Structure 1
Amino acid sequence: MRKAWCTAHLSEYTMSSHPAVSRRWLTLAAFFALYVIWGSTYFGIRIGIEYWPPFMMAGLRFLFAGGVMLAWLLWRGEKLPERRELVGAAVLGVLMPAIGNGFVTLAEKEVSSGVAALVVATVPLFTVLFGRFFFGQRAAGREWAGIALGFAGMVFLNFGSNLRASPTGAFWLVFASAGWALGSAWSRVIAQPKGPMGSAWMMIFGGLALLAGSAASGESLHAAPAWQGWAAILYLSVFGSMVAYSAYLYLLRTVTPAAATSYAYVNPVIAVLLGVMLLGERIGAHEIIAMVVILSGVVLISWRKR
């Protein structure tokens, strides 16, 4: 009897613990996608804009990724969202893929990929501010300290030659960061499709908004893109959008906003390394010191007591 009782309870414990273990591994995989894969997208964008107009490339990227995801979900038998959920997806699609990524793509015409990733480190600052003052979301003192440290690094970064040489590019990057952060904070309270369906519709709406912006700004192709341009869009669509973007939305629902946006502190390392090694970009002393300060903030942002 005792053996049977122990076996039954062990089985019950194992089954009950599996969801927690699965969630832990899923969360770790999502952070890997944000930190490493998303860090490499700055390199992909830099390659892509050599062959595509910025808004056109970003629009095609998100429209393709969202369309493929939606087709797959419908094939699996998923139901279409309600109207109010589609409205929410449209709002978030404009703020995050369109403004948040589209203007980063535009800025990389003037700013190096590594510096662009450093400027995007303002996202956690904006996210906490928007969440606190617009949506009543609370932030721990530790998170505020980490954000303050990241912001100090951003201030120092602006004294470097890269951003002083391109004030327009710096402005577009800050504007993109604010748009992405507002969408991140809003996503926790606005009605939207659940799970991958939400990712698909946000990317579709974002892609449509970017293509509309491309047409309005008069972008056009002067020649058919080389295979490198198509490869860049494919990589950005599959890994940067389908995988990493979905992972980001998952983390927004399961961890604090500051932790979900902590990728902005890690992405610069990946982006700078790829830019220096593969694109021949130069990073000065200001950028290196700023990166060290900004990355130090991730310890305070991400650390959580058990």
Structure 2
Amino acid sequence: MTPAAPRSLPWLLIGAFFALYFIWGSTYLVIRIGVETWPPMLLAGVRFLIAGMLLAAWARWRGLRWPTRRQWAGAGVLGVLLLACGNGGVTVAEHWGVGSGVAALVVATVPLFALLFARLFGDRNSALEWGGVLLGVVGIVLLNSGANLQASPAGAGLIVFAAAAWAFGSVWSRRLDLPAGAMASAAQMLVGGTVLLCGSWLGGESMQQWPDLRGWLALGYLVVFGSIIAFSAYVYLLATVRPAAATSYAFVNPAVAVALGVMFADEQVGIAEALAMAVIIAAVVLIGLPQWRRREP
């Protein structure tokens, strides 16, 4: 089992939530910029491999031990589900034409999937939570009626799969033996990045041209802010607060991503997408309310 987390300082919690809400919300646009000059799985794989090596070196410098074989297995499972399937799926879907704001909106369904997967581990759901799931299904239907996802059916399917994989990994994470502190994030990134690079090679990805300045800046932003800072904050929150609180970034990320996409990438959000956003966020709120009211475990 995951070792008990130490008492959290308020400023550390505030910083972790800020990273999830706003930094992660911005990464959808940065990914879209990055895949203009990087093959998608190569971009994601290099991103996580570099971030994992830097974070592992820092963790070792801080005195943390290398993971045991059992901990490598647990971190590897999460690296595949959260990073290779989850984030890698989002990166490929944006390369296939799914807009950054719409991608964030689909990923906002993670708490819906998490609620369903929690049933596999024996959790009981309230009527309010089931109502949130049904409302979320309505939101997904509305979202698929918009032009953004109709333009890329394969991308739509892939990003829904990515959200489901991320949710399953998040629910399972509390039942796995993971390394302590930053080494947990580092191990997941090293495994996830390696799997993505293997997928890039097997899929025949190749560099058509050397990435331009925007491509390199996108990679740097994703490594430092999207991976080392924001993903580490997510792993920290999963071990510290309730899953409903850790996944509450789904309330904010779509709004941040849509606003940035409209301002800087000339993305268009139609009536169907706007209505779907309202419905999905309302569904996530319904699911989160009962869990926010529960006592800390």
Q: Same fold (TM over 0.5)?
A: yes
Distance change (3 Å), C-alpha of 1:108 and 1:87: same
CA distance in 1, matches of 2:40, 2:65: 33
- The answer on whether the counterparts of 2:64 and 2:180 sit within 8 Å (CA) in structure 1 is no
Match of 2:209 among 201, 212, 223: 223
CA distance in 2, matches of 1:301, 1:251: 18
Q: CA deviation at 1:291?
A: 1.0
- The answer on whether the counterparts of 2:111 and 2:284 sit within 8 Å (CA) in structure 1 is no
1:120-146 Cα distance to aligned partner (Å, 9 max, x none): 12211111211211x223445544444
Mapped pair 1:202 → 2:188: yes
- The answer on whether the counterparts of 1:265 and 1:294 sit within 8 Å (CA) in structure 2 is no
Match of 1:127 in 2: 114
CA distance in 2, matches of 1:196, 1:144: 35
Mapped pair 1:238 → 2:224: yes
1:66-117 Cα distance to aligned partner (Å, 9 max, x none): 1100011112221111110011111110111110000100000211111111
CA distance in 1, matches of 2:27, 2:164: 19
Match of 1:299 among 265, 285, 291: 285
Aligned AA (1:234): G
Mapped pair 1:96 → 2:82: yes
Match of 1:191 among 161, 164, 177: 177
Aligned residues: percent identity?
Answer: 58
Q: CA deviation at 1:54?
A: 0.1
Match of 1:59 among 45, 48, 51: 45
Q: CA deviation at 1:151?
A: 3.2
Match of 1:154 in 2: 140
- The answer on whether the counterparts of 1:52 and 1:229 sit within 8 Å (CA) in structure 2 is yes
CA distance in 2, matches of 1:116, 1:262: 17
Match of 1:113 in 2: 100
Mapped pair 1:258 → 2:244: yes
Aligned with 1:51: secondary structure?
coil
Q: CA deviation at 1:179?
A: 1.1
CA distance in 1, matches of 2:15, 2:124: 26
Aligned AA (2:104): A
CA distance in 1, matches of 2:19, 2:40: 24
Match of 1:79 in 2: 65
- Deviating above 6 A after TM superposition, structure 1's stretches of 4 or more consecutive aligned residues are none
- The answer on whether the counterparts of 2:146 and 2:273 sit within 8 Å (CA) in structure 1 is yes
CA distance in 1, matches of 2:19, 2:201: 32
CA distance in 2, matches of 1:205, 1:158: 33
Match of 2:273 in 1: 287
CA distance in 2, matches of 1:151, 1:259: 21
1:35-90 Cα distance to aligned partner (Å, 9 max, x none): 11101000110000011000000000001111100011112221111110011111
Match of 2:24 in 1: 38
Aligned AA (1:132): R
Q: CA deviation at 1:241?
A: 0.7
Aligned with 2:268: secondary structure?
coil
How many equivalent pairs are there?
286
After TM superposition, the score normalised by the length of structure 1 is: 0.88
- The answer on whether the counterparts of 2:59 and 2:183 sit within 8 Å (CA) in structure 1 is yes
Unaligned runs of 5+ in 1: 1-18
CA RMSD of aligned residues (A): 1.8
Distance change (3 Å), C-alpha of 1:61 and 1:136: same
CA distance in 1, matches of 2:134, 2:284: 11
Match of 1:164 among 147, 150, 162: 150
Unaligned runs of 5+ in 2: 1-5
Aligned with 1:108: secondary structure?
helix
1:262-305 Cα distance to aligned partner (Å, 9 max, x none): 22232111111011000001110001111122222343344434
CA distance in 2, matches of 1:238, 1:180: 21
Match of 2:3 in 1: none
CA distance in 2, matches of 1:30, 1:95: 21
CA distance in 1, matches of 2:237, 2:60: 24
